[in-house]
A and B are shown apart, each in its own frame.
Chain A
Amino acid sequence: MQKTYYDPADLKKFGKISEWNEELGAKFFDYYGKVFEEGALTEREKSLIALAVSHTIQCPYCIDAYTGDGLQRGITKEEMMEALHVAAAIRGGASLVHGVQMMNKVNKLDV
C-alpha cells in the first residue's frame, strides 16, 4: 500500500477516470474544457478563480495545476497571492459571520 494518500504523478492520470465510466467521464471533461474557455471572463481570470478555489478546497492536485497554469499565462505571484487572500477572507469570514448566530443565542439566553 502506498504510504501517502497523494502522489503528484496521479494528477497526470486524471483522464483515466473515464476508463471506468466513459460516458460520464467524457461529459465531465467536455464540461470542464468548456468552463475554462474565454467567455464573459477571460481565461486568465478563470485561472485565478480556479487557483483561489483550489486553496479553499485544499486540493493539492488543483494547486499544483493552477499554479503552473498561472505561471504559463504570465500571472504574477502578487496576483496569485491577492487571489488567495480573497479566498482566505471569504473562508475566514464564513466562520466569523456565524458569530452572529452565537451572539443571537447568547443574547436570548443570557441575563
Chain B
Amino acid sequence: MLKSLHKRHSELANSKRQLEILSNGIFKSGDLPTFKSKISETNQFPLKAKKLEILQINVGYMCNQTCSHCHVDAGPDRKEIMTRETMQQILEVIKQTGAHTLDLTGGAPEMNPDFRWFVEEASKVGVKDFIVRSNLTIITANKKYCNLPEFFKKHNIHVVSSMPHWTKGKTDKQRGDGVFNKSIEALKMLNAIGYGMPNNHLKLDLVYNPSGAFLPGNQSSLEKDFKKALKEDFNIQFHKLFALTNLPISRFLDYLIASDNYEDYMYALVEAYNPIAVANVMCTNTLSVSWDGYLYDCDFNQMLNLPVNSKAKHISEYNEALLEGRDIVISQHCYGCTAGAGSSCQGSVA
C-alpha cells in the first residue's frame, strides 16, 4: 500500500512548500493570472463568507486506504485523530448555529474511536442533513465495522461515498488494489437495507472525481452512465452523483508534478474558469473544522494550513458574528472549485 507523503517525508507534506509551488512559476511569471486577479475582474474579490449552512468536521486523517489523489494525504500511517473533548465543543456549536448540514469526513471518519458516540450525540441535536463521507471499504475492512450500514440507518445518516469509476481497473488504480470489489460489496450491503433505493429516504450518493490529470465531464451525463453500469453489472442503485474536480494540492499535486502534468492542469483549470461558479463556491457557506478543532474556510484550506481570517480561530472560540462576513482565504488551488460547472463537496455549483 502507498505510504502518505508525511510518512515518506516528501517535501510536499509541508503545506508551505505546496503554497510556494502554487504561487510561483506560471503564476509569478504572469503566464497565468492569480486567482485573486481573476476574481477581481468580476469584482468578486474579496470573497465573503455568508451565513453558515454547512459544518464540515474532519475527525481525523487516519484511513484504511491511501488513494493516489487524496488531498488530505490520509492513510493508515496518519495518527491525527479528533478527541472527544473537541467533539463536545463542536456539539455545543451545532446547538447554537442554524447550519442545516453536518458533514463528517476524514480520513475514514469511522476509524475515530469516538465516531459512533459523536454520531449518536449529534443526531440528538437534529440537523436537517447529517452526512458521513464513507469510503465504503471500511464497512468490509473488519468485523467491528460490518454493522455500520445498520448504524447509519438508525441515525438516518446521509451516506456519501467515493467511486471514481464503474469499472475495476480505473477504480483500483486510483484507490488501491481490491478497492472496487470491496466497494461493490459495501454498496450491496447498503442497498439491502434501503440505502440508495428509489423513493427511499435513506440517502446514498456517490462522489466521482477524475482518475488523472483531467477535469470531470458533465455531472448529469456521468450520473446516467454510472447508474446504468452499476445497475446492469451489479444490480446496485444510488441517488445522486457528485462530480468533483481534483484540486492541485497534496498527493494530487505530487502526482501532477511527477507526471509532468502540473502546468497543463493549471492551464486547463484557468481556461475553464467560470465566474458564475465563484458566486456559489462552498467556502462561502461552509466552515471546516480540523481534527484539533481549528477553523478553516474549507477542507482544502485545512490541508494547506490556511486558517480562517477571523479572531475566532478555534471551535472553542466559535462566534457567528466574528465569522460571518469574513474574507475567504484564497490561493491558486481555488481554481479547482471554479472550473467548468464548479466543484464542491455537494458536486457542481453552476
Give A contacts to B, CB under 8 Å.
12, 43-44, 68-69, 71-74, 76, 78
Contact = CB atoms under 8 A, between A and B. Distances in A.
B212 A44 contact: no
Interface string B212-228: 10111110011001100
B210 A71 contact: yes
Given A12-B271, A43-B221, A44-B221, A71 B214 contact: yes
Given A71-B212, A73-B222, A74-B225, 15 more contacts: A12-B271, A43-B218, A43-B221, A44-B225, A69-B217, A71-B214, A72-B216, A73-B221, A74-B165, A74-B208, A74-B217, A74-B222, A74-B226, A76-B165, A78-B169
B215 A76 contact: no
A72 B215 contact: yes
Residue among A43, A71, A76 facing the most chain B CB atoms (10 A cut-off): A71
A87 B89 CA distance: 63
A68 B340 CA distance: 15
22 contacts: A43-B218, A43-B221, A44-B221, A44-B225, A69-B217, A71-B210, A71-B212, A72-B210, A72-B214, A72-B216, A72-B217, A73-B218, A73-B225, A74-B165, A74-B166, A74-B217, A74-B222, A74-B225, A74-B226, A76-B167, A76-B169, A78-B169
Interface in B239-258: none
Contact of A68 (B165, B214, B218, B225): B214
Contacts of A12: 271
Residue among A12, A44, A72, A78 facing the most chain B CB atoms (10 A cut-off): A72
Nearest to A38: B221
A18 B291 CA distance: 54
A73 B212 CA distance: 13
A15 to B, nearest CB: 12
B78 interface: no
Nearest to B224: A42
B116 interface: no
Contacts of B188: none
